[in-house]
Amino acid sequence: MNLDALYSNLTIKTGAKLALIVLDGLGDIATKAQDELTPLEAAHTPNLDALVAAGVAQGRMIPVAPGITPGSGPGHLGLFGYDPLEFLVGRGVIEALGLGFTLKPGDIAIRANFCSLNEKKLVTDRRAGRIPTETCQRLCALLASKLKKLGTTEVHIVPGKEHRFVVVLRGAGLEGPLTDTDPNREGLPINEAKPVDPKNAKQKKVAKLVADFYKAALPLLAKEKPANGFLLRGIAHQPDIPLFENRYGLKAAALAVYPMYKGLAQLVGMKKIEGPQTIKEQFERYVAEYDNYDFFFIHFKYTDKYGEDGNFEAKKKAIEEFDEALPIFLEKRPDVLAITGDHSTPCAVKGHSWHPQPVLIQSALSGSDKLERFTETGANLGSLGIFPAKFLIRLMQANARMFDKFGA
Amino acid sequence: MNLDALYSNLTIKTGAKLALIVLDGLGDIATKAQDELTPLEAAHTPNLDALVAAGVAQGRMIPVAPGITPGSGPGHLGLFGYDPLEFLVGRGVIEALGLGFTLKPGDIAIRANFCSLNEKKLVTDRRAGRIPTETCQRLCALLASKLKKLGTTEVHIVPGKEHRFVVVLRGAGLEGPLTDTDPNREGLPINEAKPVDPKNAKQKKVAKLVADFYKAALPLLAKEKPANGFLLRGIAHQPDIPLFENRYGLKAAALAVYPMYKGLAQLVGMKKIEGPQTIKEQFERYVAEYDNYDFFFIHFKYTDKYGEDGNFEAKKKAIEEFDEALPIFLEKRPDVLAITGDHSTPCAVKGHSWHPQPVLIQSALSGSDKLERFTETGANLGSLGIFPAKFLIRLMQANARMFDKFGA
């Protein structure tokens, strides 16, 4: 029996409130350089400690598969209960959603950067000197005004921050993925976008459209400085993803600050709540919106950001900032709370990694693992074990008593 | 998406050095008879302890599936990253490779024993009194000289030690597995080799060839004493296994003493390094060959051998012998080191078992589980958890930073 179908068949709506707090890149590794403590272990977290003391279940999660380091897309899809190997989402799709552009299934979304080209058409700056956002908006408006269609295919151009924008191709018979046109370093020409599967006619059609787009757009930018070219990455179509509410019977809201995480939440059909800029504000808004949704996804970016920088102290402080705000959240304690990361971002790696991230679940039925704190080392000993991240939401649903018994 | 394809797509060659030390049958169980200590726990292992204190990740591995006791073939295939349920390798294939016979995909390899038959053609000694190796060589030469072909199928006969030899059938349209002709106890006649899948025409063809082989060979041995017959086991074809170097981007060498493990390593395309007879010599040779390969498989047999004997003290001493030699190995510390068994061989079982074997991984990114020693009980608490053995090499590759990030 298909497992998703089983879960679906057993699902009961109970009106329970569920909340998933994602401290991006939370997991870390213990090294001698930091006295064998991870940032989570080194951080002063009295509120989290009190939560753990009241009784939680802990464990660790494998984001995709053993040894695989996920990007934010696969990392979050897993947290939302979608197998990242089954639901593949391109970077362009995520960026487009993050900028508030509503994609339709089948749309091709492309992440674009303005760049600088020399007279030989070689890339001299892959980010065009990080032009101001206003310049980006002006150039996107210019392109959009002249390039509404390529044949019968609609073209949408959405400006982002600084040198970034998104191109969306909307029409029949389009499919990704294609290779990037970004040569990934300066001194090289813009690459041709090629079908990843050379036999796929729909991908070939997109390759032709991308070439036509360059042909029409580059002359429009010819006199611009320094942004007289652009590079395309993550050329892919919006996949057909079952909506969160249909899949889990939960009306979901997302409280995220960064576009990509808003985009990921929207991709599965969560309602994007705009406004809050800090974790304190996100928690305040959660309290205000408590009655309006069944499921809250709250995303905190800074653990990942400082892990990427290899900044142990800052990652530790980010965790402490989260901890300090936690009592606001707990004013309206949900029936089921999960706190975790979408992956590990160890300071020693200065990037995402494959190390399973720690997770805790707190509910009336989570039981207590009798651990004093929420840490990587403690999570190794927890009752949840080490499990694929895609099952987290199923465990949350179970804790919310949302599943009927299977079989008699 | 297929997981092996994903790993393959993400693989980067980094020039990192990886080493896998297999203490065959390492895992054991704690029993009251031995003060609740396993041989690994009871052994004096100062060098291993120092390695652990410097920071390693620990866990336990399921060789094939829960409750399944593997032979050496499936045990090692799992360690080499090949799902033992997908890649089935017959014992004859392993023996042939161990004797240095180069098999081709599709060859049928059969493990054979000379035996003694009485006048009623009943087996009176399944090992023909363990005839000297020289006798075996003479009899194999006799058979080989008279039996070069069966119809269009080539026949190769390779002598082994004492009563053991290997028969290889080479021709088009052959496939295994077939049932053994060995009745497994004295007083019974030689069995007929039957297709495991009665509808498989290629297996039926092999069954006919085996019957023809007996018809031609038995008369040649009729006057020999005590080896006037032979029993066949593990009748199977060489499977088409993706080569280690293509699969992992690692040029691999095997330092094993016993033929079977050399054969298993060769089966996946590792280079067999001949010469060393003790673990000390194996480690010395590893140091000498360090620059020539990316991956080293070092096999130590005695933990298994003494486990099979139920000899706790000897198994403990074998571990201590390994530990004493370990500093030689560590003169050239690889970027990623894994130490484990291919399965457990508990003294109380006197044979292989299904108990997950302990494993440790040491690298700059392994992190530390803050455990004092490498033991079965400690490994239960480690950050690697309990996982299928086939993922070990993927975790080693991840520790070597050989995988690109998956998705954006």
Of A85, A349, A380, the CB nearest to B6: A85
At A304 the three-state DSSP class reads helix
Contact: A68, B10; criterion CB under 8 Å:
yes
H helix or E strand, kind and range, residue B14: none
Q: How many CB atoms lie within 10 A of CB A173?
A: 11
Contact: B3, A85; criterion CB under 8 Å:
yes
Residues of A in contact with B384 (CB under 8 A): 386
Q: What is the rounded distance in angstroms from the CA atom of residue A167 to the CA atom of residue A169?
A: 7
Task: Write down the residue that tokens 């995220």 correspond to.
Answer: A256
Task: Write down the residue that tokens 């197998």 correspond to.
Answer: A83
Contact: A90, B408; criterion CB under 8 Å:
yes
pLDDT at B260: 84
Of B55, B403, B408, the CB nearest to A67: B403
Residues of B in contact with A349 (CB under 8 A): 365
Average pLDDT of chain A is: 95
pLDDT at A95: 84
Backbone φ and ψ for A56, nearest 5 degrees, come out as -135, 160
Window 44-73 of B: residues touching A by CB (8 A cutoff) are 54-55
Helix B72-79 to helix B392-399 angle (10° resolution) is 30
Contact: B408, A72; criterion CB under 8 Å:
yes
> Where are the extended beta strands (E) located within B160-306?
164-170, 229-237, 252-255, 271-272, 295-300
Contact: A355, B383; criterion CB under 8 Å:
yes
Q: What is the rounded distance in angstroms from the CA atom of residue B252 to the CA atom of residue A131?
A: 49
Asked if B398 reaches chain A (Cβ–Cβ under 8 Å), the answer is yes
Written as six digits, the tokens of B255 are 């330092």
Backbone conformation region of residue B129, classed left if phi is above 0, alpha if psi is from -120 to 50, else beta: left
Q: Which residues contact A102 (CB under 8 A, 6 or more apart)?
A: none
Closest CA to A386 of B369, B4, B22: B369
Asked if A91 reaches chain B (Cβ–Cβ under 8 Å), the answer is yes
Candidates A342, A355, A359, A381, partner chain B, best to mutate (most B CBs within 10 A): A355
Q: Which residues contact A320 (CB under 8 A, 6 or more apart)?
A: A43, A44, A45
Q: Are B19 and B363 in contact (CB under 8 A)?
A: no
> pTM, whole model, 2 decimals?
0.89
Residues of B in contact with A351 (CB under 8 A): 405
Q: Are A358 and A60 in contact (CB under 8 A)?
A: yes
Whether the pLDDT of residue A102 is over 90: the answer is no
Q: What is the rounded distance in angstroms from the CA atom of residue A314 to the CA atom of residue A247?
A: 38
Distance from CA of B392 to the nearest CA of A (A): 8
Distance from CA of A164 to the nearest CA of B (A): 15
Going from the first residue of chain B to its last (408 residues), give the mean pLDDT of each consecutive group of 10, the final group possibly shorter.
90 96 98 96 98 97 97 95 92 84 90 96 95 97 96 96 95 95 95 96 97 97 96 91 96 93 91 96 98 98 96 98 98 98 98 98 97 97 98 98 91
Task: Write down the residue that tokens 């652990």 correspond to.
Answer: B52
Written as six digits, the tokens of B167 are 């028969």
Closest CA to A388 of A23, A55, A89, A86: A86
Q: Are B315 and B347 in contact (CB under 8 A)?
A: yes
Q: Which residues contact B357 (CB under 8 A, 6 or more apart)?
A: B26, B27, B60, B61, B63, B340, B341, B342, B343, B344, B389
Window 149-208 of B: residues touching A by CB (8 A cutoff) are none
Nearest CA in chain A to B58: A380
**pLDDT grade, residue A408 (50/70/90)?**
confident
pLDDT at B103: 87
- Cα distances (angstroms) measured from residue B274 to each of A333, B277, B285: 66, 9, 10
The predicted complex's ipTM stands at: 0.88
Contact: A69, B1; criterion CB under 8 Å:
no
Of B6, B364, B383, the CB nearest to A380: B383
Written as six digits, the tokens of B125 are 């000694």
Distance from CA of A335 to the nearest CA of B (A): 29
Residues of A in contact with B408 (CB under 8 A): 71-73, 90-91, 94, 234
Window 347-376 of B: residues touching A by CB (8 A cutoff) are 364-370
Closest CA to A203 of A158, A164, A229, A169: A169
Written as six digits, the tokens of A306 are 């400082």
Residues of A in contact with B3 (CB under 8 A): 65, 85
Backbone φ and ψ for B218, nearest 5 degrees, come out as -60, -45
